[in-house]
Structure 1
Amino acid sequence: MLRHHDPGSYGQFCPIAMAAEILCSRWTVLVVRELLSGSSRFNDLRRGVPLMSPTLLSKRLKELEDAGVIVSVPTTQRGVVEYRLTEAGEGLRPVVMSLGHWGLRWVESSLSLKNLDPSLLMWDMRRNLDPTPLPARRCTINFLYPEVRSGKRSWWLVVDGDTVDLCSSNPGFEIDLYVRSSLRSMTAVWMGLSTVQKEVDAGQIEMIGDRTLAQSMQRWLGLSVFAKETRAPAS
């Protein structure tokens, strides 16, 4: 059974209230989202919640461990642990997915597109990328967001078999495909609000390089798991 001992308890014998005491503190659900998405080490979790301070992330992980949602497991690397979901933690998957589906269906998309973050976008694209349509060799794809400040403007995805690496500095490999895009357009494609072809036709995405990679981009691009969700009609 999960344990909760929040001094700010709702004081209600209600399953929703008891679950909220564990999950509804700021950032907690996003940390759980990252764990459900496969991140298990502290630095990887930080990449999924880049605006969260390391101190607060440590605090939330400790709270989740105390509650029985996760366990920390030592690795062979000295001083490094992995955080793994318990059975109770894995049971949160349909809850978190339902929140995402609700948000995409009912929250105005223009609000989401105001919260643009190239590092988070590229991190999500990396872990959802499907290497199946790519050639059976190492492929390096350079994404450039011209309007973004220097340091977050250029990103490289290096795909070698089933391994996908994300680099924020040039890895030194020959570039197979250059993708120049506005951050808003690429985020809209990732969210399923637009398509690669629509943004190319609108002049918002430009691709130079391997034609096969360019033509199959919609298939290999790592879209949000909610990309197929149908949005509610505007009122």
Structure 2
Amino acid sequence: MHLYGQYCPVARAAEILADRWTVLIIRELLADVKHFNELERGLPHMSRTLLTERLRRLEQTGVLERRSASRGKPCEYRLTPAGRELQRLIDLLGEWGARWAFGPPRPSELDPIILLWWMRRRVAVDRFSRRRVIQFEFRGAPQRTYWLVVDPNDISVCLKHPRFDVDMIVTANIMTFYQVWLGRLTLLDATRKNLIHLDGAPADVRAFPTWFTWSPMAETVCAAQADRRTARIGQSRPPRPETKPLARRIAS
């Protein structure tokens, strides 16, 4: 932990939260991720050693608590009231990022496993009365084909064919699907423009948009894009010509 040597609430908060990866760990915990392996899957570019160190530090500073589990089950990490209060900070960071720092995705950010892991957490389980297997054909990804197996009691991301019948095949460029997931592009527009193709029973194709609650940041990103479009339109309009008062017009 870097100590700034300043008696200031901002400095004290930054000492806890400003280290690399810490805010993203908080983001995951606020999304109800409780176990170490689940945190690791959501943060695959972070080493296990660093994740362990960051979790220990957050526990020491009172942001989270580690709860022991019964034998054979992993321990749980739970945010304390102080940690849950950081939801406001994460929301504000997301809003600021959407408005000022969220351009097109960089190639290094287009990880299909992270995307499917996010999707796994946002499945609308109540929409499924039986197991459904969704196959994703992601052009531009390191591995082209992935599967999401949705069972009312469990949801799995698979890198190999799960050996169940496939109900839906989603074909898209990985960049396009990321932008749809995060609200930069609507699913309706993407399908109308043939950027995303859904192949399945007609009823499943119609229902697909309701199978997920989509990214919690999608609405914020969409609103930020609308604000930027409005600002550009306002800047592109020519200035209105100055009008003379009626008395001056008559006099001239």
Length-normalised TM-score, structure 2: 0.83
- CA change 1:82–1:39 in 2 (3 A) is same
Runs of 4+ aligned structure 1 residues displaced above 3 Å come to 111-114, 131-134
Which structure has greater helix proportion?
Answer: 2
Post-superposition Cα deviations, 1:49-96, rounded to whole Å, max 9, x if no partner, equal: 111111111111111111111111122244732111111111111111
- Conserved? CA contact 2:65–2:78, under 8 Å: yes
- Conserved? CA contact 2:191–2:197, under 8 Å: yes
- CA change 1:113–1:216 in 2 (3 A) is farther
Q: Which has the larger radius of gyration?
A: 2
Deviation for aligned residue 1:114: 6.0
Cross-structure match for 1:141: 134
Unaligned runs of 5+ in 1: 1-5
Report the residue type matching 1:145 in the other structure: F
Cross-structure match for 1:183: 174
Q: What is the CA–CA distance in structure 1 between the aligned matches of 2:156 and 2:5, rounded to whole Å?
A: 47
- CA change 1:163–1:80 in 2 (3 A) is closer
CA-atom RMSD, angstroms?
1.9
Q: Are positions 1:227 and 2:218 aligned together? A: yes
SS in structure 1 of the partner of residue 133 of structure 2: strand
Cross-structure match for 2:121: 127
Cross-structure match for 1:53: 47
- Conserved? CA contact 1:127–1:222, under 8 Å: no
Deviation for aligned residue 1:113: 7.1
Higher mean C-alpha deviation, range 208-217 or range 70-79: 70-79
Length-normalised TM-score, structure 1: 0.89
Q: What is the CA–CA distance in structure 1 between the aligned matches of 2:73 and 2:188, rounded to whole Å?
A: 47
SS in structure 1 of the partner of residue 125 of structure 2: coil
- Structure-to-structure mapping, 1:109-128, within 5 angstroms: 109-111=103-105, 115-128=109-122
- CA change 1:146–1:172 in 2 (3 A) is same
Q: Out of 148, 154, 157, which is 2:145 matched to?
A: 154
Give the length in aligned residue pairs: 226
Deviation for aligned residue 1:120: 0.8
Cross-structure match for 1:20: 14
Q: What is the CA–CA distance in structure 1 between the aligned matches of 2:85 and 2:12, rounded to whole Å?
A: 15
Deviation for aligned residue 1:154: 2.0
